[in-house]
Amino acid sequence: MPDHTAQTSPIIDVQDLTRKFGDFTAVDHITFSVGAGEIFAFLGPNGAGKTTTIKMLTTLLHPTAGRIRINGYDPQHQQDAVRKSFGIVFQDPSTDDELTAWENLELHGVLYGVDKALRRQRMEQLLDIVELSDRRDDQVKHFSGGMKRRLEIARGLLHHPKILFLDEPTIGLDPQTRNHLWSYVAELNVQEGITVFLTTHYMEEADKMAKRIAVIDHGKIVALGSSAELKAQTNTQTLEEAFLALTGKGIREEEAGAIDNMRLHARAWRGKRR
């Protein structure tokens, strides 16, 4: 029986969490907890339920059943307390392209009620850390994917959250940027004691970063433990082999959603406007 509880007092506590979309069960009775200051990874194939879980933890989606506590609060009934507790980097970019880097941060700071002097000071600091200070007055639409990600991380930290959610933050980034990003996250974790909850399907990232890993498939947690424990449990040499042993080798299809269609539209639109 895998160990489903955190070693330290849990800052994220989830019991029997379930989400259905019609007949389809995206998340199926999952239970786990994450200790304060821990780095915890959700590993799973496409459509396993990773993003749906994050949406429920971050108040964006109501659970069908189950219980969640984030920093001691209930995302369904104490939304604002929960929202102040975390910062998030979404799977898809979520900056406003027409605004500058500085304006994006400013807007975030105001929404989170960080007062002006403190806000400005942190904005300068964070832009330095993510190495975007010289581009602060450029509109985000001129940024590369990596720069946008860095800006989003800076933004996610602006209100000093206790938990940082990273939903596949390195998709589409080159190895240099990925490396840079993870070392920064690791540093934050050590220095600020910030709890990190990440999802990824890059094995080596989970292996390197996470203290404990939950392997999720078809909406269920099929294994949970450290990388070494998962390998031992499946009798394999690498995390990738362990992952394949746990989730099978069939290729997963993810439905092309509205977002993909929109991207096509957007491309056509931008083309016209230029």
Partner 1 sequence: MQTIYILWLRQIKRYSRSRSRMIGALGQPLLFLVALGFGFGPIFEKAGGGNYIQFLAPGIIAMSILFTAIFSGMEIIWDRQFGFLKETLVAPVPRLHIMIGRTLGSASVAFLQGFVVFLISMLVGFRPEQWGLFPIALLVMFLIALIFTALGTAIASVMEDFHGFQLIINFLVMPLFFLSGSLFPLQGLPTAIDIIAKLDPLTYGIDALRGTLVGAAHFGLTLDLGILVVLVALLMIVGSWLFSRIEV
Q: What is the DSSP letter of 73?
A: B
Least separation in angstroms between residue 18's CB and partner 1 is 16
Phi, psi at 251, each rounded to 5°: -85, 135
Which residues of the chain form beta strands (DSSP E)? 10-21, 24-35, 39-43, 65-70, 86-89, 163-167, 195-200, 212-217, 220-225
Q: Distance between CA atoms of 73 and 41, rounded to whole angstroms?
A: 21
Query: Is 254 near partner 1 (CB under 8 A)?
Result: no
Least separation in angstroms between residue 260's CB and partner 1 is 10
One-letter amino acid at 197 equals F
From the list 65, 61, 106, 103, the residue with the least C-alpha distance to 82 is 61
Query: Is 108 near partner 1 (CB under 8 A)?
Result: yes
Residues in the chain, how many?
274
Query: Is 268 near partner 1 (CB under 8 A)?
Result: no
Q: Which is nearer to partner 1, 61 or 206 (CB)?
A: 61
Residue from 76, 261, 267, 270 touching partner 1 (CB under 8 A): that is 261
What character string, x for contact with partner 1 (CB under 8 A) and - otherwise, covers 2-41? ----------------------------------------
Residue from 26, 61, 151, 223 touching partner 1 (CB under 8 A): that is 61
Least separation in angstroms between residue 199's CB and partner 1 is 15
Least separation in angstroms between residue 152's CB and partner 1 is 9
Query: Is 190 near partner 1 (CB under 8 A)?
Result: no
Buried b (16+ CB within 10 A) or exposed e, 81-112: ebbbbbbbbbbebebeeeebbbbbbbebbeeb
One-letter amino acid at 30 equals I
Q: Which is nearer to partner 1, 28 or 103 (CB)?
A: 103
What character string, x for contact with partner 1 (CB under 8 A) and - otherwise, covers 126-165? -------------x---------------x----------
What character string, x for contact with partner 1 (CB under 8 A) and - otherwise, covers 70-99? ---------xxx-xx---x-x-xxxxxxxx
From the list 247, 194, 245, the residue with the least C-alpha distance to 218 is 247
Query: Is 65 near partner 1 (CB under 8 A)?
Result: no
Q: Distance between CA atoms of 98 and 8, rounded to whole angstroms?
A: 43
Query: Is 195 near partner 1 (CB under 8 A)?
Result: no
Residue from 144, 266, 267, 270 touching partner 1 (CB under 8 A): that is 266
**CA count, 13 A, side-chain hemisphere, 107:** 12
From the list 206, 200, 232, 218, the residue with the least C-alpha distance to 2 is 232
Q: By the criterion CB under 8 A, which residues form the site for partner 1?
A: 55, 58-62, 79-81, 83-84, 88, 90, 92-99, 103, 106-108, 110-113, 139, 155, 258-259, 261-262, 265-266, 273
